[in-house]
Amino acid sequence: MYEFLRAIVSFIFVLGVLVFIHELGHYLAARWRGVHVDVFSIGFGKPLYRWHDKVGTEWRICPIPLGGYVKPHGFADPEDVTEEERATYIPGKTFHGKDVGSRAIVIAAGPIFNFLLAIILFIGLFSIVGTPHLDVQPIVKGIVKDSPASKAGLEINDTIIKIDNLSQPSAKNIVEFIAQHPDLTTNIVVKRDNKDVSLPITIGTQIQNDKSIGRIGLEFKSSVNFKEPLSIIKAVPAAFSATWNITYQTVVGIGQMVTGQRSAKELGGPIKIAQMSGQVSHGGFADLISFMALLSINLGLINLFPIPILDGGRLVFYAIEAVIRKPVPKKIQAWGFQIGFALILLLFVFSTYNDVSQLSVIRWLTGHSN
């Protein structure tokens, strides 16, 4: 029960910070472009607490911590609202009354602030704690049920000291050897209770990019170590580089899922995020900051997807408007938003299904496990 509560509290904290920063981007950009903001809400539902600032924006704290929103003044087009609502518009302060460039800036600022948050978090992490280094050991941490590793008799905490003719191998060398030798029948020697145990094993096969890749179905133990902290001068470019690398790798990973090169079962949803939030809360400051930076990048990136209803979809409509010099027809926008809503709903359901179905399953891992 304690672990469950820890996960929920950590999830609410992490998501709350990321959503606040995202919406703060929209809010500050709106103020910069001369758009009045009616409401700034953290969470959904009936407000638990609300107040008005000196410029008239209503700030809300709501009980459902699964998002938030900023409501720019006059966000809807005049023809879509009643005469009574139009009568309340502040001249020169409406969102719809601004040029397409200003509207695009307000929309794009949310995702941009998520990337900026990641950069700031990385700068703090690299300059205070240091740059992270993943240390993977050839020690078995997990074994996939009915996998070649399981059938061969490998056990948790076995240390692999030899596979075929590869003696005293590193975790990386083991992964590479297995990947390059699908269907090979050989011996694997492990250190178990201070004794050397030799086990016959037949490496399994997985098709990837129309090529057979060896897999045996195990996970290695790993830990994150931090090198010496960087000076601010060095931490800044390192933070930009880390943010770019994570963004690039995420885009590549999503592309591989779309093309079938990677399983869509790797896609995680809110349950997985909550679960991981609880796990990183055990690791202390550095793990939490790293996790928040990673999620912030993902939140910014997802919002830039060209799907109507997301920020990226609106930016596509604004780009078309800038080219044809008139707004995209209302009917097309309406269809787009309906399709976008359906896609997001399906994505949410699918990712949640993945979370539930994989809660107690050790997946076949790539990279530093095999």
The 10s digit of each residue's pLDDT in 183-221 is 889 989 888 988 888 989 898 887 766 778 888 888 888
pLDDT for 250 equals 78
- d(CA 219, CA 182) in angstroms, rounded, equals 18
Catalytic residue among 23, 84, 155, 266: 23
Name residues of the chain where pLDDT drops below 50.
269-272, 274-275, 277-278, 281, 352-370
Residues of the chain with CATH 2.30.42.10: 133-225
Identify each DSSP E strand in 45-194 by its residue range. 49-52, 58-61, 64-72, 132-143, 159-163, 166-167, 185-192
Give the global pTM. 0.72
321 given a catalytic annotation: no
> CB atoms < 10 A from the CB of 82, how many?
7
pLDDT for 359 equals 44
pLDDT for 90 equals 86
What DSSP string runs through 229-248? PPPHHHHHHHHHHHHHHHHH
Fold assignment, 133-225: Pdz3 Domain (2.30.42)
- d(CA 202, CA 100) in angstroms, rounded, equals 61
pLDDT for 341 equals 65
